[in-house]
Structure 1
Amino acid sequence: MKLWEQDELSLRTLTVEDASILLKWLSDPTVLAYYEGRDNPHDEALIQQHFYEDRDGIHACILEHQGNAIGYVQYYEVEGEEREEYGLEQTQGKVIGMDQFIGEPAYWNQGIGTKLIQSMIHFISATEHADTLVMDPQAWNTRALHVYEKCGFVKHRFLPKHEWHEGEYRDCWVIIYPVRQQSGHELKDKGVHLS
């Protein structure tokens, strides 16, 4: 099911048939360097475990460019201990976390990541009535952090040795997008057409 489209990009719900696409992306060392780690190539069983089993509350999606699958996006409500770990226990309203990657390196460095994040801000705010969006990218990934900050995310909390990646625990930043503050209580239309 298509969730939104903007220009040549669209987002749709993940299907069982997408397992082969995920397998292609997550066995590519170029992609794994930024997502999951080059020492953690996925096989079919790992794809099933990570993307299809026990996924209650997680909205899993495929990003398309002109109808071709090029990336993965997931979003979910952040509650309880995770909210405390992120330093958001005092934050009012609904907090939505999101993760994403572009699995086709040919589409990197073309502004697609920026368009994706801007579209997701609009989409999640409109459909989930989120008050705050949150991500926790690894601190060394300055390219991703630059994109997120350009889209309005701000650094909120530093998490030392937070995520296992390529043989060591890596530092991460909790970054947030305060939807209601940024939008003046109403998010302006960014050209995203919700389906």
Structure 2
Amino acid sequence: MTRIRLRSPDRESQTDTRVGESWLGAARRLAVPAEPVAADLSDDPKTFLVDEDLRVGLRPMLHSDLHDVLRWRHADHVRRWFGPPPTWQDVVDRYGPRIDGRQPTRMSVIEANGRSVGFIQDYLVRDHPEYAVLTPDPNAIGGDYLIGEPAWVGRGIGTRLIWTWLAGLPAQYPGTKTVFVSPDHRNAASLRILAKTGFEQGLWFDEPQRDGTVSTVIGCSLDLDVVVGPPG
């Protein structure tokens, strides 16, 4: 059993997971009719909350979003982790085929309170053989994200974003059990967000970058059955 705590504006309650029940499933029993979101799943008890003030959602990326993508990729706080900023043609060539469905990577725009603030991409790791050999589960879902709008950095949106993404994955990838991401080992903020949403750190490895350099990253894994459970 795992201890689950739910915080809402007017109360705090706790419960234990039942046999075969996910952490989210237990939190939903406490939160009915509201939908709980992860606050900090790195400790005991696992803490969820109900918060209506910050609404974070994902929608499919469109070609009309690529001007925002270019601007986000040029932001100083993004360049540190994503490398040299691309040209307009680079953005079109890289993300256009994904938007059109010609490449097996799903692109989504992050919206915070109705405003586009960044993007997240996901894919099956097995579709990228050079990456699959580095993961504990080659059938895992991989992902990368960035918050491009400087005004939204450091406002707690990262945890909410990752949780919103995770909660939707069982429906998008039925039968897939593992999520695997690999942030740079120096990116303490991203590592903390992943820990708070249920990821566990694993193998460190060197990952070649598009500019010819190599970054040391940390493989972080999450068991969807344990943390999120089935679509609901």
Same fold (TM over 0.5): yes
Corresponding position of 2:150: 105
| Mapped pair 1:83 → 2:132 | yes
Of 53-62 and 113-122, more deviation after overlay is shown by 53-62
Give deviations 1:6-60, integer Å, cap 9, x for gaps: 85222111101011101111122232112x22xx112111111221136521110
2:182 counterpart (136, 152, 155) = 136
SS of 2:133's equivalent in the other structure is helix
1:45-86 deviation line (CA, Å, top 9, x unaligned):
111122113652111010011221101111111114532222
Classify 1:33/1:165 alpha carbon distance in 2 versus 1 (closer, same or farther; 3 Å): farther
Q: When the two structures are aligned, how many residues end up with a matched partner?
A: 174
Separation of aligned partners in 1, 2:227 and 2:76: 37
Aligned-partner SS, 1:85: coil
Corresponding residue for residue 8 of structure 1: 55
Q: Which 5+ residue runs of structure 2 have no aligned equivalent?
A: 1-51
Residues 109 and 188 from structure 1, CA distance in 2 versus in 1: closer, same or farther, beyond 3 angstroms? farther
Go from structure 1 to structure 2 and tell me whether the alpha carbon gap of 1:30 and 1:81 turns closer, same or farther (over 3 Å shift). Answer: closer
> Is 1:43 matched up with 2:121?
no
Identity level (%): 22
Structure possessing the higher radius of gyration over alpha carbons: 2
2:25 alignment partner in structure 1: none
1:33 is paired with a residue whose SS is helix
The yes-or-no answer on 1:117 pairing with 2:166 is no
User: 1:59–1:76: 8 Å Cα contact kept in structure 2?
Assistant: yes
CA RMSD in angstroms, aligned pairs only: 2.2
- The residue number in structure 2 matching 1:156 is 202
Unaligned runs of 5+ in 1: 1-5, 190-195
Separation in 1, partners of 2:77, 2:196 = 24
Q: 1:139 to 1:41 in 2, by over 3 A?
A: same
8 Å Cα contact 1:95-1:133 kept in structure 2: yes
Distance 1:44 1:109 in 2: 28
Structure-to-structure mapping, 1:175-190, within 5 angstroms: 175-183=220-228, 186-187=229-230
Distance 2:220 2:133 in 1: 14
Give yes or no for contact 2:66–2:92 (8 Å, CA) kept in 1: yes
Tell which deviates more after alignment, 76-85 or 164-173: 164-173
Contact 1:122 1:187 in 2 (8 A): no
Correspondence for 2:119 among 50, 53, 72:
72
Given the superposition, is the C-alpha separation of residues 53 and 165 from structure 1 closer, same or farther in structure 2, using an over 3 Å criterion? closer
Cα shift readout 1:97-127 (whole Å, capped 9, x = no counterpart)? 1110100121111111000111111101232
Aligned residue type for 1:127: Q
Partner secondary structure for residue 193 of structure 2 = helix
Counterpart of 2:37? none
More divergent stretch after superposition (79-88 vs 102-111): 79-88
